[in-house]
């Protein structure tokens, strides 16, 4: 029987390079004949992609932190049911650009002290943790200019500004201490190829 697949997530502040890195890892695994799926949050299923638009477009103050948390969890539940769990059942490695750690940091640790609520909701409605998470760390000034340069129209979170990104960075660093076995800290300031090599060295022992 095929071994159940591994669930791998990439996390970090806006513009840290996690999307580039998650795609590089996806391509590397695919090119080396590993069964693999790339997906992202918010999004990753039809319904969750629709919810994504509500979350990433519009004014920074469009939603309260509580409403935002519910929307992220609604999107995540659909994504889990329709994309992530079926792929893991098929034995695929799932590479996901952001997952519940983003909610812990963005909604739980920064705008209000909502972390306990975030955890309770996660346990009730999601209940799944990745096997391994790469937290890509970067200086917020550099990351923010990268993110806004893309001009994607999805800048609602970038638009909260630099102090918010500083808080997020601290939140992600704290997660690597809270979950040291699962969350690996990666220095994202090097070239994409060098960062990819660091990540590969940590991931491949889990997959081979």
5 binds ligand TYD (CB under 6 A): no
Residue 9 is a binding residue for ligand TYD (CB under 6 A): no
Residue 4 or residue 62: which is nearer to ligand TYD going by CB?
62
Q: Nearest distance from residue 158's CB to ligand TYD, in Å?
A: 6
Nearest approach, Cβ of 206 to ligand TYD (angstroms)?
A: 23
Q: Is 72 in the site for ligand TYD (CB under 6 A)?
A: yes
The token duo for 130 is 């990745």
Residues 80, 199, 166, CA angle at the centre, nearest 5°?
A: 75
Nearer to ligand TYD, 93 or 103 (CB): 103
Site for ligand TYD in 86-115 (CB under 6 A): 97-98, 102-103, 106-107
Q: Helices 18-31 and 192-207: crossing angle, nearest 10°?
A: 50
Q: Which is nearer to ligand TYD, 57 or 204 (CB)?
A: 57
CB of 22 to ligand TYD, least distance (A): 10
Which of the residues 133 through 162 are near ligand TYD (CB under 6 A)? 147, 157
């Amino acid at each position: 029987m095929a071994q159940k697949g591994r669930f791998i997530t990439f996390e970090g502040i806006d513009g840290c390079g996690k999307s580039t890195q998650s795609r590089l890892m996806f391509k590397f695994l695919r090119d080396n004949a590993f069964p693999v799926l790339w997906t992202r949050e918010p999004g990753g299923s039809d319904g969750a992609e629709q919810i994504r638009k509500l979350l990433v477009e519009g004014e920074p103050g469009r939603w309260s932190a509580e409403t935002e948390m519910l929307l992220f969890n609604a999107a995540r539940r659909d994504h889990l049911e329709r994309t992530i769990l079926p792929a893991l059942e098929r034995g695929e490695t799932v590479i996901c650009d952001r997952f519940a750690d983003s909610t812990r940091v963005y909604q739980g640790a920064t705008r209000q002290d909502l972390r306990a609520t975030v955890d309770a909701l996660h346990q009730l409605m999601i209940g799944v943790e990745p096997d391994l998470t790469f937290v890509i760390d970067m200086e917020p000034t550099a990351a923010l200019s990268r993110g806004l340069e893309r001009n994607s129209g999805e800048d609602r979170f970038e638009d909260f500004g630099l102090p918010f990104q500083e808080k997020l960075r601290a939140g992600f660093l704290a997660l690597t201490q809270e979950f040291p076995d699962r969350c690996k800290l990666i220095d994202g300031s090097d070239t994409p190829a060098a960062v990819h090599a660091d990540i590969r060295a940590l991931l491949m022992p889990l997959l081979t």
